[in-house]
Structure 1
Amino acid sequence: MVPPSASRSARRPRERRPPKPLDKARLNELALAYLARFATSAAKLEAYLRRKLRERGWEGEGEPPVSALVERCVEAGYVDDAAYAHSKAGSLRRRGYGERRVDQSLGAAGIGADLREEVRGTASEARQAALALARKRRLGPFGPPPADRQAREKQIAILLRAGHRLDIARQVVEADTVAGLEVWAEEVD
């Protein structure tokens, strides 16, 4: 009997067959499988399908109907940019990201400027997001007091990189108590 380690080394690596080129039916299946797994925007779905076409090629007649397929998915309600934008913006805010980072993320997903403006949060939501990040990263009153000016500036920089405005970042870092910061975050403008 041949030891298992010897038999593995004696085997040749399996050669992978190249994937079949796409046709209309396969492209449709690919789109539906992607939509079943991910919430997405129309632009992201189109980019995904175009990438798959570059990787696998096109076997069908004429040009691949990517735009028409995406449009059918939008009309059928499988893709809803407004719902995606609201969901993604809320998720990012709960994780502690500021409006600038939310706007960048939605822009990268192909959401138009008018829809990004529509989902822009209120001032209270921006403060709540900063509070969530401060709590998670132990900034301001949630952690030990900054030892010096440089430590305070590092905490402010963390909030700025997360997309928060400078005035919000300073307010969070310079707050004396958690209770005071929570009251500030709840204020309605």
Structure 2
Amino acid sequence: MTGGRMNKHGEKRLPRPLDSARLEELALAYVARFATSAAKLEGYLARKLRERGWEGEGAAPIATLVERFVRAGYVDDLAYARAKSGSLLRRGYGQRRIGQALHAAGIDEQVRDEVRVGKGEERRAALAMARKRGFGPFGRGEPDRPQREKQIAAMLRAGHRLDSARELVNAATQEAALEWAGQGEEDE
């Protein structure tokens, strides 16, 4: 049997349309469970309205509800952007990819600029990716030209700059890669 509730005749029961109280309950449950941005919360509530319909008077108060949650501190785009940026950096993603993820989450450009990282953090993220994926001196043996090109392409897809990708993939030793990653410290 697939998901969904059934009535006494074995037919799938449609969920009740939403009203203001139920919409707020859904919003509270969502922000309690997930770190989110205002735009993501608004998208979630709009999707729930499409799925279930609206029972209340007039248009559903999604924007008003989201605004109230922002004022109450349940939703904070800056805090979300900082957390998401830090998480992606630790996983080895570059600044371009982080910017794309924040844009997709509805974070405005001013906030994205505020959480932009310095050169040192960008280098450490590139180093984290090279270590994790076994690129350059962190791999087994000396990579040949086609393998180096694939590694550089993977780093570019992860949002790293071309010069950083080349520097890491072409590093002669792990120590040289570590030294390069530490050079951006003074730029922060």
Aligned to 2:39: 43
Q: Which runs of 5+ in 1 are unaligned?
A: 1-12
Task: State how far apart, in whole Å, the 2-side matches of 1:27 and 1:79 are.
Answer: 16
Structure 2 length as normaliser, TM-score? 0.91
> Is residue 122 of structure 1 aligned with residue 118 of structure 2?
yes
Q: Give the fraction of aligned pairs with identical amino acids, expressed as a percent.
A: 64
Q: Which has the larger radius of gyration?
A: 1
State the shift of 1:146 in Å: 4.1
Task: State how far apart, in whole Å, the 1-side matches of 2:10 and 2:29 are.
Answer: 27
Q: Following superposition, which runs of at least 4 residues in structure 1 exceed 4 angstroms of deviation? A: none
Structure 1, 98-107 or 14-23: larger mean CA deviation: 14-23
Task: State how far apart, in whole Å, the 1-side matches of 2:47 and 2:32 are.
Answer: 18
Equivalence map 1:129-140=2 (5 Å): 129-140=125-136
State the shift of 1:14 in Å: 3.8
CA RMSD of aligned residues (A): 1.2
State the shift of 1:178 in Å: 1.2
Structure 1, 140-149 or 98-107: larger mean CA deviation: 140-149
Task: State how far apart, in whole Å, the 2-side matches of 1:75 and 1:22 are.
Answer: 23
- The alignment of Structure 1 onto Structure 2 pairs a total of residues equal to 177
Task: State how far apart, in whole Å, the 2-side matches of 1:114 and 1:32 are.
Answer: 27
Task: State how far apart, in whole Å, the 2-side matches of 1:147 and 1:171 are.
Answer: 14
Match of residue 77, structure 2, among 73, 77, 81: 81
Task: State how far apart, in whole Å, the 1-side matches of 2:11 and 2:90 are.
Answer: 46
Aligned to 2:63: 67
Q: Which runs of 5+ in 2 are unaligned?
A: 1-8
Aligned to 1:15: 11
Contact map agreement 2:136 2:143 (CA 8 A) in 1: no
Match of residue 105, structure 1, among 101, 122, 130: 101
Matched residue type, 1:103: G
Aligned to 1:22, the other structure's residue is in SS state coil
Structure 1 length as normaliser, TM-score? 0.91
Matched residue type, 2:109: A
